[in-house]
Structure 1
Amino acid sequence: MKTEYWTDEYSAYQTLEIEINEGHEHVFYYFGTSEGSKQWFPELTFEDEARPEKLLLELGDGTHDHMYILDLIERKRLVFTWSAGDVRIEIVEAEEDKTLVRFQERLPAAIGNIVEDFAGWYFQLENLKHIAETGELQEVGADALEERKKKVKEELGL
């Protein structure tokens, strides 16, 4: 996976790009529908899939956060609020049966969990690739998560 992390005076940013060995339509299903997204990110669902305006993130304690969908172009792009920032997921058909997923996130620098959030999305995209290609979730070990957090922190200069 190609990764890029940077900061400016107000925000922290990440861009992740991953190639998935499946077709464009197949990949979009996994982040453009509740049924698909629940397979790789079970806590994230569309509030009203027929006319999606919000995503719901289950927090595990019986509560949830609302994320507002800012842009949705079927089979191409999904943009939504995430905490006090935003997330943009785009897919591009690289070649037949290969799809490039480009994930971009911006969070305000004042948020305290940037490193954890960025590392978490890295593994969520790894899960997306794995489930799209094999139909099964990929387990992430605690050591791998800690190593990714170290890399993110170092690259952000935090």
Structure 2
Amino acid sequence: MIAEVTRTQQGYKAVFDRKLAHEPEHVWQMLTDNQKIHRWFAGLQIEQSGKDGYLTFDMGHGNFEKMAITDYEERERLGFEWGEDHVLFKLTPEEGGTRLKLVETIQALTDHTPKDVAGWHVCLDVLQALLDKKGIERTLEWEHWYPEYKRLFESMRVSFE
């Protein structure tokens, strides 16, 4: 399911809402155990967990971006800086599993925004496939979802080349 993107007073918000057939503890491990994170988002790593912690993102060529953890509640919330933006994962136990919401708060739309939002979509698809012990082809997923997000942002009267 495509993210819901809305305009806010501060910019935009993209909300992904997934129902996972797995306990919150298992979903939390996917978000906080570096060996598991690397399987669904290569280059992202928690260096220090907790409210005063931070993540790094490997930008390639030996460049790493440090991102502060802004919200941390064990098995419930993990929020962190994402460049000029912010990402928040929220886990809520539900019968038969976990409701996982990813909220990206976007300060300003750029030509990279559809790629970024499509990237989060694919990451969540991969995370879910890993939990379900199913295979998934990232490239095919990307080729499907990126044009969808590009159209979505263009429909908001934002044009990207």
Please tell me the TM-score bracket, short chain as reference. 0.7 to 0.9
Equivalent position of 2:143 in the other structure: 143
Paired residues for 1:45-84 under 5 Å: 45-49=45-49, 53-84=53-84
Aligned 8 A contact 1:123 1:140 in 2 = no
Equivalent position of 2:92 in the other structure: 92
Equivalent position of 2:108 in the other structure: 109
Aligned 8 A contact 2:38 2:45 in 1 = yes
Distance 1:81 1:31 in 2: 15
Distance 1:135 1:32 in 2: 21
1:99 Cα deviation from its structure 2 partner: 1.2
Aligned 8 A contact 1:5 1:156 in 2 = no
Distance 2:61 2:54 in 1: 20
Question: Mind listing any 5+ residue stretches in structure 1 that lack a counterpart?
Answer: none
1:129 is the counterpart of 2:128: yes
**Please, which moves more after superposition, 127-136 or 141-150?**
141-150
**Structure 2: which amino acid aligns with 1:44?**
L
Give the length in aligned residue pairs.
157
* CA separation of 1:151 and 1:131: change in aligned 2, threshold 3 A: farther
Aligned 8 A contact 2:34 2:46 in 1 = yes
Q: TM-score w.r.t. structure 1 length?
A: 0.87
Distance 2:90 2:83 in 1: 19
Distance 1:143 1:10 in 2: 30
Cα deviation digits, residues 17-71 of structure 1 (max 9, x gap): 0111211111110002222211211211011348861100011222111110011
Distance 1:151 1:110 in 2: 14
1:32 is the counterpart of 2:32: yes
Root-mean-square deviation (Å)? 2.2
SS in 2 for 1:149: helix
